[in-house]
Amino acid sequence: MKLADRMGRLGTESAFEVLARARALELAGAKVIHLEIGEPDFDTPPHIVAAAGDALAKGHTHYVPAPGIPELRAAVAAFLERTGRLRTSPDRVVVTPGAKPIMFFTILALCQEGDEVLYPDPGFPMYESIAAFAGARPVPVPLREEHGFRMDPDELASLVTDRTRLVILNSPHNPCGSMLTRDDVEAIARVALEHDLVVLSDEVYTAIRYGGDCPSVLQVEGMAERTVLLDGWSKSFAMTGWRLGFGVLPPALVEPVTRLVVNSVSCTSAFSQHAAIAALEGPSAPVEQMVAAFRERRAVIVAGLNRIPGISCLEPQGAFYAFPRVRDLGLPAAELADLLLVRGGVACLPGTAFGAHGEGYLRFSYANSVERIREALEAIELVVGELPPA
Ligand SMILES: Cc1ncc(COP(=O)(O)O)c(C=O)c1O
């Protein structure tokens, strides 16, 4: 069957492919430690699950307004204000099934042939894929280890042309675990203001950070009018399978993005939205406990990786990924990831799954127990020890 040309420009997320491969090995009897998956290994906190049950029992099983139920839009705005992130109004909040649709719809609404989209490389693979699908030209902004894997505002500025339309930021960052500093976001905001660019600020990992604040471009004067905030419940509240995300949009984008919601999914699951309110308004202890567990695992995996000859790993500041440099081992990241899976029973992703600038790196998700992480480190050390000298 002949597909539309645009399908040739649409990529995929190789995490799901590696997961399928690992599961096939498991079915054939192999033991695999899963460090490839980008989701918290914790269950959704019980008060959130209970709120969904209540909502179902009360009959919240019908279509609801496309941009989200008013109570949830208000709860999102109140949550952002209470947590010191942003003062906004509920009518700028759009709720979607997962945060991904905010990315997809924002890019579709804004970008077309002739436009350029600047995005971090390494970075979440959908940025490039969706920009290309929309007909725009994705332009990678390299994130360099020497610069702490943070986007360099000067390098960003050097890539802006008169066709640049959108800049995508992600902090805390997947896969690098880096966070932009206050100086970074101010300098990036200056570039956006000077060149009249829209910014998509992907902050899905903001609740999972190990230092202080995670500054956002949105906090810079004048930026709220040109920035889409993308966030959701998947990572913060261990709710990946619920499919719940939100965007806070400049006024001019609310109606077009809502129209894309109407044309694609109609609305986000009604009873889930009641659970989403419980997540925002309920106790924060479960999130704090989850972050504390990630912090402990981070210490184990970073120290363990740095003990293996030929591997070095910066300490991630947020999210739950370690992104070690493996270049000195002398083989392409994809080959190394494959060897680790087949010989060591450790599933991880090559840095190249996140763009060409990820060559020489691997991504390990530490959303797994300390015990499994220690086993994985032992297995990695054995596989690496058997490699011929680089
Ligand atoms: C950087 C980044 N943005 C967005 C998403 C998508 O989140 P959701 O599952 O809520 O659609 C992910 C998920 O892996 C991510 O890593």
Which atom of ligand 1 approaches the CA of 174 most closely? 1
CA dihedral (142, 145, 147, 151) in degrees, to 10, reads 30
- The DSSP result for 121-150, as a single string, is ES--THHHHHHHHTT-EEEEEE--GGGTT-
3-class DSSP assignment, residue 198? strand
DSSP tally for the chain: helices H, then strands E = 12, 12
Residue owning the nearest CA to atom 14 of ligand 1: 38
- Note the pLDDT tens digit of each residue in 344-357: 999 999 999 999 99
Residue 199 CA to residue 117 CA, distance in Å, equals 10
**Verdict on whether the full-model pTM lies above 0.85:** yes
* pLDDT mean across residues, the chain: 97
Instruction: Name the percent of the chain lying above pLDDT 70.
Output: 100
Q: Give the model confidence (pLDDT) of 143-202 as tens digits.
A: 999 999 999 999 999 999 999 999 999 999 999 999 999 999 999 999 999 999 999 999
Structural contact between residues 73 and 247, judged by C-beta atoms closer than 8 angstroms: no
- Distance (Å) from CA 294 to ligand 1 centroid: 18
Please give all residues whose beta carbon lies within 6 A of any atom in ligand 1, as ranges. 38, 98-100, 124, 170, 174, 202, 204, 232, 234, 240, 245
CA-based nearest residue to 118, from 150, 172, 146, 155: 155
Which three-class secondary structure state does DSSP give residue 35? coil
Whether residue 211 has pLDDT greater than 90: no
Q: Residues in the chain, how many?
A: 390
Q: What distance in Å separates the CA atoms of residue 130 and residue 134, rounded to the nearest whole number?
A: 6
Ligand 1 atom, smallest distance to 101 CA: 11
The pLDDT of residue 334: 95
- pLDDT tens digit sequence for 295-348: 999 999 999 999 999 999 999 999 999 999 999 999 999 999 999 999 999 999
E strand or H helix at 362:
strand 362-365
**Cβ contacts of 16 within 8 Å, gap of 6 or more:** none
Least confident residue range of 13-17, 220-224, 285-289, 355-359: 13-17
Tens of pLDDT, residue by residue over 120-144, are 999 999 999 999 999 999 999 999 9
pLDDT of residue 17 exceeding 90: no
In order of 86, 90, 218, 227, 334, the CA distances from 221 in angstroms are: 11, 20, 8, 11, 42
pLDDT category of residue 212 using cuts at 50, 70 and 90: confident
Cβ contact 33:41 at 8 Å = no
- pLDDT of amino acid 14: 82
Phi, psi at residue 297, to the nearest 5°? -65, -35
Tokens of 355: 């763009």
Report CA(231)–ligand 1 centroid distance (Å): 8
